Structure 1
Amino acid sequence: MLKRTGWCLLVLVSLSVSAVAGDSLLLDDKVYEVPDIHRVPEQDQGDIQAIFYDTLDYKGKPTRAFAYIGIPQSDEPVPAMVLVHGGGGTAFYNWVKIWNDRGYAAISMSLEGHMPNEKGAGKIRHEFSGPSRVGRFDDAELPLNEQWMYHAVSDIFIANSLLAAQPGVDADRIGVTGISWGGILSSLVSGIDSRYKCAMPVYGCGYLFDSLGHFASVKTDAQKFWDPSRYIVEGSVPTLWVNSDSDGHFSVNTTSHCFETTDDHAFLNIHPGLAHGHGPGWDKKRVPEIYAFADHILKGQGAALGRIVKQPSGRDVKLMYKSDVPLESATVYYLNEPLTYRKPAGDPGAKHSRPGPWIERKALVNAEAGTVVAQLPKSCQTYYVNLKDTRGHLISSVLVELD
């Protein structure tokens, strides 16, 4: 049974209310309070409940977010996940089920004022809808509390407060993961909401103003206010950065930069050829590291992901790593040009540009010394290295761009 309590947690998030000046974001104190919940039983999906929860007023109008929430039966409080959808997405009960089946409570909410049809699909506006996303921060010149990002971030804070208050949930073991736009939001939130014990942004990240792909238009100071790079620099939540090496939305250099900013508490996965979308971004077989990372931190189960303790830098590739799980292989992926995003030569009608094709070269692993070495051709200008352990989990180096 869902429960509303008076439980509240204060977190310092800001020194400034300005949407341009200042480095931080001031949210309404209500985001730390447990919201009123409104059941929608006709939209339940098996044991996963459909609800509305109260969110912040928008232009003087009360608003609510639709969400699916599931809490597995357990004799002990369970860990939990807040699931943040991407552009074109909404609340996903099947995403909640993936985590429920793994012994986690989970909530997936619509951040653009939608609810599904009676079959749990589609996107229908409702009478309590708040703002919808406008391009890539294209509403950034409006007053702060009228911008979509302000409400989306607030809705995520409130979802955390709601989930933590449920009797079957361990409030001290909550993580967040998001896909695409949800990756932007979950990485931003990881920098300002220290209640989270782990974060796994997929595709979406910070430093969007340095993007070579779809987000290259994010340039103005008002737009940059929402860039997660402003907030992750002060964060300490253990974070797994996940991206594809050929994603047209979020260029891999930005993900690498996010990892470098947070490297004292972060891990990096660059997946060769990972397609963009909600399905690939939560696929247990395609991105198993997400679930291993959560299990290790929130359940104390399984070995930690490995770490590269000395990153490569030149064409004579040499890195040092530590891993409790033996390595199966190491591969260098490289380009004979600077990182460049363009429409594929064989597919000029493609919606998004991408780099590549990447060239593969096997690297030599010395398990006793904890080193990986490889020699790259003089033509190489860009590369990264992937280590794969015997579980099939990746450990990625930063992106190296040579002169």
Structure 2
Amino acid sequence: MKTNKFNIYTGKLRLLIFVSLALYSATLMAQTIDKPLIELLDQRIYEVPEIHWEPTMNQGDIKALFYETLSYKGKPTRAFAYIGIPKSDKPVPAMVLVHGGGGKAFHEWVKIWNDRGYAAISMSLEGHMPDANGKGKFSHDYSGPTRVGRFDDVDLPLDEQWMYHAVSDIMIGHSLIESFPEVDANNIGITGISWGGILSSLVSGLDTRLKCAIPVYGCGYLYESKGHFGKKRNNTLEFIEKKKFWDPSHQFSIGLVPTLWVNGDSDGHFSINITSHSFKTTSNHAYMTIHPSMKHGHPPGWRPEDVPEIYDFADYILKGKELGLGKIVKQPSKREIELVYESDVPILEATVYYLNEKLTYRKSSPKSKHARPGPWLSMPAKVNNSKNEVKAELLKTAVTYYVNLKDSRGRIISSVLVDLTKQ
């Protein structure tokens, strides 16, 4: 009988200890998550990392290297990167280039910026390295974590999550490129494509050293996306809420870095509504360009002939060139479309793109990889350059629209997305 009482007592004691530890762990997690992300990052992100050059992997004048990053589960890690610095008699501005999902360090991307007078660094964020010809993706002995779904490793300790290391690797890469004497450390920007758009927009709210940010496709408010990225799959509501910790809007909403948001109006991953929401949050220091039917991918997101606004914006901010992009200073909001813009370059035309329904994503056929909205319809709007005004009367059938202004160089600036069903 005594034995039974003792067993009951010890069982209750174990249960009490277990509950106490669980509550303590939950309290610690709550305290951690309640802190700003910048306070949770290892401050070595601001230090110049040790470099390991790989000359056999150079691509012409673009140098290959590994740089040391934060340890992962006690293991030393390194990120592979390409760095290119154009020849100049004075320090040049620089860009940090962040690849998308399934991407890698791209020497081709570095060269595009080098040819335009910028230094650039492109790093691999998923523990990969290419071959000697710059092709393929191979693991190496110092690989860190790889991406797990869409923040699906959020239940791991913070310093074991991929986003923690990806953000840190980017900021360490910034610390590296700004350390070169050939680089103007006071004029460095960032651009990223798809997942790189997510990361670059997030980092724009953390890294106050940055002078501009150009996220392409990826942005904030990911959980509001109508596209593939917004699909919740079988996640519980609790798990979905946890993953919102990494939503870029938590960071760029408190940032002040001049930002150009870039997307297409039918992107299968990041729908235009979340690009518009991200722009609204940063509108006092942001611009937006929406390209109709823009394809999703690395080359479409970096080719100067496809997205020249990226390079005009960078030149304006980082090189001080006089003619940048125009800006809509009074946004449309009603069926009677009225907007006011500012532009040093004449606006030649304005086009209203609209849907006769809410922004709704559906697959065009069973074989389609991703859902997209129904085809956008378009109508011209009247431009009054003497008053910097654009006006149009929206058709009665239309309920969703945005407006594009095109200047004499062919550059596009876009209005917010208007959903008349919410009015």
What's the TM-score bracket when you normalise by the shorter of the two chains?
A: over 0.9
Q: 2:249 aligns with which of 229, 251, 272?
A: 229
Are 1:72 and 2:86 counterparts? yes
**AA matched with 1:295:** D
Provide the rounded CA distance (Å) in 2 between the counterparts of 1:71 and 1:337: 49
> Structure 1 residues 142, 217: CA separation in 2 closer, same or farther (over 3 Å shift)?
farther
Provide the rounded CA distance (Å) in 2 between the counterparts of 1:149 and 1:239: 21
**AA matched with 1:238:** P
Provide the rounded CA distance (Å) in 2 between the counterparts of 1:392 and 1:32: 39
SS in structure 1 opposite 2:199?
helix
Are 1:391 and 2:402 counterparts? no
Please report the TM-score for the alignment, with normalisation by the length of structure 2.
0.90
Shift of residue 22, structure 1, vs aligned partner? 4.2
SS in structure 2 opposite 1:225?
helix
Q: 1:88 aligns with which of 99, 102, 118?
A: 102
The residue number in structure 1 matching 2:138 is 124
Provide the rounded CA distance (Å) in 2 between the counterparts of 1:177 and 1:17: 32
SS in structure 2 opposite 1:157?
helix
Moved more, 290-299 or 347-356: 347-356
The residue number in structure 2 matching 1:329 is 349
Contact residue 315 and residue 324 of structure 2 kept, 8 A: no
Shift of residue 150, structure 1, vs aligned partner? 0.2
The residue number in structure 1 matching 2:158 is 144
Q: CA RMSD in A?
A: 1.2
Shift of residue 119, structure 1, vs aligned partner? 1.1
Q: 1:240 aligns with which of 239, 247, 260?
A: 260
**Unmatched 5+ stretches in structure 1:** 1-15
Q: Deviations over 1:162-192 (max 9, x none)?
A: 0000010000000000000000000000011
Contact residue 20 and residue 221 of structure 1 kept, 8 A: no
Are 1:349 and 2:363 counterparts? no
SS in structure 2 opposite 1:224?
helix
Q: 2:120 aligns with which of 86, 106, 130?
A: 106
**AA matched with 1:72:** P
Shift of residue 24, structure 1, vs aligned partner? 3.4
The residue number in structure 2 matching 1:3 is none
Are 1:306 and 2:326 counterparts? yes
Contact residue 19 and residue 225 of structure 1 kept, 8 A: no
**Unmatched 5+ stretches in structure 2:** 1-28
SS in structure 2 opposite 1:89?
coil
Alignment of 1:2-401 (within 5 A): 20-25=33-38, 26-217=40-231, 220-344=240-364, 347-401=365-419
Structure with the higher fraction of residues in helix conformation: 2
Contact residue 364 and residue 372 of structure 1 kept, 8 A: yes
Provide the rounded CA distance (Å) in 2 between the counterparts of 1:17 and 1:147: 17
Contact residue 19 and residue 222 of structure 1 kept, 8 A: no
SS in structure 2 opposite 1:373?
strand
**AA matched with 1:224:** K
Q: Deviations over 1:316-336 (max 9, x none)?
A: 111111110001110000000
Q: Deviations over 1:330-363 (max 9, x none)?
A: 000000000001111xx32111111120001000
Provide the rounded CA distance (Å) in 1 between the counterparts of 2:376 and 2:322: 32
Q: Deviations over 1:104-154 (max 9, x none)?
A: 000000000000012101100000000000000000111000000000000
Moved more, 190-199 or 348-357: 348-357
Q: Structure 1 segments of 4 or more deviating over 6 A?
A: none
Provide the rounded CA distance (Å) in 2 between the counterparts of 1:110 and 1:17: 32
Please report the TM-score for the alignment, with normalisation by the length of structure 1.
0.94
The residue number in structure 1 matching 2:17 is none
| Structure label with greater radius of gyration | 2
**AA matched with 1:255:** T
Provide the rounded CA distance (Å) in 1 between the counterparts of 2:37 and 2:396: 44
The residue number in structure 2 matching 1:7 is none
Provide the rounded CA distance (Å) in 2 between the counterparts of 1:19 and 1:95: 37
Contact residue 164 and residue 171 of structure 1 kept, 8 A: yes
**AA matched with 2:402:** Y
**AA matched with 1:341:** Y
**AA matched with 2:327:** R
Shift of residue 304, structure 1, vs aligned partner? 1.9
Provide the rounded CA distance (Å) in 1 between the counterparts of 2:170 and 2:96: 8
Provide the rounded CA distance (Å) in 2 between the counterparts of 1:33 and 1:309: 39
**AA matched with 1:352:** H
